[in-house]
Amino acid sequence: VHIGAVGRDGDWAIERLTEYGVDTRYITYGSTTGHAIIMVDRLGENAILIHSGANLEITERAIGAALGQSSTGDYFVAQNETNMQFEAASLAKKLGLTVVYAAAPFDVDVVQMMLPMIDILVLNQVEADQLQKATGKPPQDLGVAQVIITLGAKGCRWFNAETEVSKVFDAEPVKAVDTTGAGDTFTGFMVAGLDRGLPMEQALKLASRAGAIMVTRHGTADVIPDLKDIQDRFGP
């Protein structure tokens, strides 16, 4: 289920989500559809300029209606492109959902506000450093049960506050041509793996492999790999 907002110019986006099998009943209409201008350099690294548009016009009513259809144990995933993250995460937490928060685009004040609601925090190394500087606390002391720091070509680091386990997962060696969407792909596959019942270690391995394939492709949503792509390249 996707909770969001588009403009009247955004019917194509709803149609595309529907093609992907996403429940779009709770997408509302606002001003103009948000969009991003993505610039990619010769090394595959990107810079992104965002026009938020209707992304900042999500209503509390839509959030309540969508989350009202959820079940205890479902996963709620939020990022910073929209408004109402805190309100939505608070309701999700109250309903017994697992709250996953990808702290991008990074805003240290918003992240600190969200911390009490988060079960799983995903951020990159630069964001982790900025958050530690602002809070004076390392990732394992943020009060979040599980923190995942993505390290680009070096893989990712997982902190489990409950067991005090910290583990690094190496990335699959690939030649990156476009890193756009790699973080989103990683988070999506991690959550999908957890939702399928995989332990975190296996979910992170799956997510890392998905991200590795993603950076070898030019584009964003249309080139995100599926499970078959991952199994064909890396095995089951």
List the catalytic residue out of 129, 141, 178, 184.
184
Choose the final residue of a domain: 13, 48, 69: 69
Write down the mean pLDDT value for the chain: 96
Residues 27, 116 within the same domain: no
Q: Are residues 118 and 200 in the same domain?
A: yes
In the chain, the number of structural domains is 2
- 40 and 76 share one domain: no
Given pLDDT bands bounded at 50, 70 and 90, which one contains residue 134?
very high
Same domain, 97 and 199: yes
Catalytic annotation on 184?
yes
Please check the confidence at residue 207 and state whether its pLDDT lies above 90: yes
Specify whether 204 is located in the same domain as 221: yes
Give phi and psi for 178, each to the nearest 5: -165, 110
Tell me, rounded to whole angstroms, the distance of Cα 58 from its chain centroid: 18
The last residue of a domain, from among 69, 88, 114: 69
Residues 20 and 125 occupy one common structural domain: no
Residue 15, domain extent: 1-69
Closest CA to 229 of 145, 154, 161, 172: 172
Structural contact between residues 146 and 191, judged by C-beta atoms closer than 8 angstroms: no
Q: Clarify whether residues 46 and 129 are in a common domain.
A: no
For residues 40 and 85, membership in a common domain is answered with: no
Does residue 95 sit in the same domain as residue 39?
no
| Co-location of 113 and 230 in the same domain | yes
Q: Does pLDDT of 236 surpass 90?
A: no
Q: Say yes or no: 45 and 114 in one domain.
A: no
47 contacts: CB under 8 Å, gap ≥ 6: 38, 39, 41
Q: Are 85 and 61 contained in the same domain?
A: no
pLDDT tens-digit map of 46-100: 999 999 999 999 999 999 999 999 999 999 999 999 999 999 999 999 999 999 9
pLDDT tens sequence across 164-199: 989 999 999 999 999 999 999 999 999 999 999 999
Examine the pLDDT at 131 and tell me if it is beyond 90: yes
Tokens encoding 68: 């009202």
What is the DSSP code string of 142-197? SS-SEEEEE-GGG-EEEEETTTTEEEEEPPPP---S--TTHHHHHHHHHHHHHHTT
